[in-house]
């Protein structure tokens, strides 16, 4: 049984990265039902039930592996912004992927980059992977811009399958060495 405790995992100057709590679920469902948010994620808005299942899966992954796509909360007012975290993508099971999904009204404020930075610091320090990847639909310029701000470099175009659907993606990656060098630079 999944606990919806909203346990804080990491913090940044503006964000709290935590497990989901029940109060997040309708907000997460609204985010996942927004056609603009899911435009590059298969294009089909998610049902409330499926969105809740995704949050439950994320909680379970975190409890089992210490990896998961967890809630992002703004510290100043407690607003739920979306999700971000690390996980194993089925199409690249040997890699850890950093991923994010924020509600549209929170785009353009640097929250995805800030949350992903904290998760990358945590991931490289805790799990010591050789590299971390991020995957996007090729026309998803906003996510690709975040990847570049995270010192990720284009690695390849690939075709992946999710839930029986095949589609083309771009894969960006950052090695542990490149990440550490990037983090030493002043902002």
pLDDT in tens, 161-179: 877 778 899 999 999 999 9
Question: Is 67 a residue whose pLDDT tops 60?
Answer: yes
Length of the chain: 187
Please state the pTM of the whole predicted model. Answer: 0.94
Max Cα separation, the chain?
A: 44
pLDDT in tens, 36-58: 999 988 778 999 999 999 999 99
pLDDT (0 to 100) of residue 173? 98
Question: Is 186 a residue whose pLDDT tops 60?
Answer: no
Joined together, the tokens standing for residue 101 give 């999904």
pLDDT (0 to 100) of residue 187? 47
Q: Is 71 in contact with 83 (CB distance < 8 Å)?
A: yes
DSSP state of 42: T
* CA–CA separation, 74 and 78 (whole Å): 5
- Only one residue has tokens 């950093």, namely 98
For the domain spanning 8-184, the CATH number is 3.40.630.30
């Amino acid at each position: 049984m999944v606990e919806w405790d909203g346990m804080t995992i990491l913090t940044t100057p503006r964000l709290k990265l935590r497990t989901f709590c029940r109060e997040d679920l309708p907000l997460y469902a609204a985010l996942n039902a927004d056609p603009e948010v899911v435009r590059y994620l298969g294009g089909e808005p998610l049902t409330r039930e499926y969105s809740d299942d995704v949050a439950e899966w994320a909680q379970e992954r975190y409890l089992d592996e210490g990896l998961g796509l967890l809630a992002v909360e703004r510290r100043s007012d407690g607003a739920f912004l979306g999700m971000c975290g690390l996980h194993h993508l089925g199409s690249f099971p040997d890699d850890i992927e950093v991923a994010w999904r924020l509600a549209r009204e929170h785009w353009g404020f640097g929250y995805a980059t800030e949350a992903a930075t904290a998760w990358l610091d945590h991931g490289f320090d805790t799990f010591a992977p050789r590299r971390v990847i991020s995957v996007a639909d090729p026309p998803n310029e906003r996510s690709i811009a975040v990847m570049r701000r995270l010192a990720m470099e284009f690695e390849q175009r690939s075709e992946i399958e999710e839930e029986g659907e095949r589609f083309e993606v771009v894969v960006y990656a950052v090695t542990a060495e490149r990440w550490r060098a990037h983090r030493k630079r002043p902002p």
